[in-house]
Amino acid sequence: MFRASHSRIPEIVEISKKIRRRRPDIPRTIELGYSNARLEASDNRIKATIRMADGFHHVTNLIAPITLRCSGLDIRLPQPTI
């Protein structure tokens, strides 16, 4: 890291600063096993729920659908039997 941060190549210096700034987060991310794609999918699911819930007057009314959608439960409505 020392050699990279004292390099004369601006791109290498920039990436070494980012790694040094995020050093505690890197092992934590590997330990938890969350990939960027998984986090982006959760973020997208939350944003879609917020768009659908436009018009709620209280934040607590918005938290319930977000919790339900992000929990991974497969809730199906009853189907009429023929």
What does the radius of gyration of the chain's CA atoms come to, in whole angstroms? 21
* DSSP labels, 33-50: T--HHHHHHHHHHHHHHH
- The H or E element containing residue 59 is helix 59-70
Residue 70 contacts residue 42 (beta carbons within 8 Å)? yes
pLDDT digits (tens), the chain, 82 positions: 788 878 889 899 899 999 999 888 888 878 887 778 888 888 898 898 888 877 778 888 888 888 888 887 777 878 887 7
Distance, in Å, from the CA atom of 68 to the CA atom of 74, rounded to the nearest integer, reads 10
